[in-house]
Chain A
């Protein structure tokens, strides 16, 4: 037997109470773990962004297009190494519920802008050479069971062709992936010309530009130069770093960090009050036993440590179980939703922040009962028996 045995036995002396407390802490950390993993993947765009990559969108809104000619004009700006462009196709496969993120791009400059996208050299060449080729991300291909050589139709819920249809036929000639799991591989790319030539309206427009600067230190300068170039025109632009663009994109759904903080904060405040109050009550019930331990010679600081450890142990047990359950849930969700949320996983940072929070919760809920236990007067406590 040692102090740990005593701590454990005291903690679980009332099993129902211990189980309910553990469950309440478990739920708080389950919420934290799941939301933390979603937050990580949601905001990972900022972390994955290249330092020297800028995005230019229409100043009104990123959903509003801009003239195709901007692409070539931006390429002439000093400090610009490469410019790609992309346009939102808004595609679906067979049924509107089967949405496929598809972009019409200039193949050469787009792949130059995103060197992290990898594929076999022959497939890369096939994509460059084949007018109706669809370059599919590996997660998307996995979702629909597509492979190289397949011919599929994709329909647009935005655009129409001059013949009145909204269906484009594609030949899947390449599948891309990325070494980093967090880099999305859940979308498809095809040639802008193939799209633009068939359009019934909005021809010769692009959605946004992707600029690689020659050096990240020139980002501000290039951004200003690009936006100045189109100032006072009917299509003014706004150029930001890719990280800022991704963050703004994520935040269009609300301030994710604030929502997370509010939900997790509410759960933790509730748990803090419940566990704190229960621990104070539990220790008050044991005043006589603490007095006996002091009588036997247990010094007050050791009793303080034991009571505080009890609270930290409770919090850690609940916290680790909650984080473990969150990990299992996230793994399950990640497998089912790989196409929509690539790289969804509980990161090491979320885990360790969770462990830190568990220790903090234990310390906060244990400090008052630990002080009370330390201050127990032997004579007073024994005379109450």
Chain B
């Protein structure tokens, strides 16, 4: 987990368009969007509901495909990969953090964190070490045997963060990661994300409605009518 060079481009989006049809109606979310995301960036994407924030996040994560245009991640055309290769690419490059944590209720915290490592060739011992490190980073080493329902919302989101970072991905994609949390827990989660960005060099793209959450990012991007309006800022704290 080494710090990346902030000047190197991680993602390059070129003429990216996304739309869908609802009945006979064609709906365009964004059209010919071009942008880059540097390595080590912590970017908050804001905008009104239905503006396509989550859709953009899905395109970056390779769980959705654009109508046209290119999603390039370090020379890999994500939009062109087959389903099988896309799954493998996701497991090696992307960590996802969801609003509702999406942990497996039958697994313990440690087992939830270990889940992405089942896709690697690591031995059981190596996986255990990685899980311990990830849980330690999010401050939940003492809760590894707890199941999700035995944890608070903030703790569950920490487990989700540990799961997202355990395979050492280049980028963390966070969809409203504090949307279901109280202010105190939300701040703790955002501080953790900030730590991961600053100390471990993780590139983070975070979709949020919450302006105070966005303050933790290095920069804010406002999605409005299919265009980005960037607002550079100083990170909070």
Contacts and interface: CB of A to CB of B under 8 A. Distances in A.
Nearest to B110: A1
B34 interface: no
Contacts of B61: 295
Contacts of A298: 87, 91, 118-119
A294 B64 CA distance: 12
B92 A1 contact: no
A9 B88 CA distance: 24
B122 to A, nearest CB: 12
B104 interface: yes
The contact size tier of chain A is 20 to 34
Contact of A379 (B64, B102, B127): B64
B84 interface: yes
A300 interface: yes
Given A1-B114, A1-B118, A296 B91 contact: yes
A72 interface: no
Interface string A2-14: 1101100110010
Interface string B103-125: 01111000100111011000000
Say whether chain A's binding surface is mostly helix, strand, loop, or mixed: helix
Interface stretch (A23-31, A189-197, A198-206, A285-293): A285-293
Interface string A121-158: 00000000000000000000000000000000000000
Contacts of B64: 378-379
Contacts of B115: 293, 296
Interface in B71-120: 83-84, 87-92, 96, 98, 100, 102, 104-107, 111, 114-116, 118-119
The contact size tier of chain B is 20 to 34
B118 A382 contact: no
A385 B119 contact: no
Contact of A2 (B91, B92, B118): B118
A117 B84 CA distance: 67
B1 interface: no
Contacts of A294: 63, 87
A296 B106 contact: no
A2 B111 CA distance: 10
Contacts of A378: 63-64
B58 interface: yes
Taking each of B63, B87, B90, B114, which has the highest tally of chain A beta carbons within 10 Å of its own beta carbon? B87
B91 A5 contact: no
Contacts of B104: 289, 292
B15 to A, nearest CB: 22
A296 B102 CA distance: 11
Interface in A252-301: 288-289, 292-301
28 contacts: A1-B107, A1-B114, A2-B118, A5-B111, A6-B118, A9-B106, A9-B107, A289-B104, A292-B102, A292-B104, A293-B115, A295-B61, A295-B96, A296-B91, A296-B115, A297-B88, A297-B89, A297-B90, A297-B119, A298-B118, A299-B83, A299-B87, A300-B83, A378-B64, A379-B63, A382-B98, A385-B100, A385-B102
Given A296-B119, A382-B98, 14 more contacts: A1-B107, A3-B118, A9-B106, A10-B106, A292-B102, A295-B61, A295-B90, A297-B91, A297-B92, A298-B119, A299-B87, A300-B87, A301-B84, A379-B58
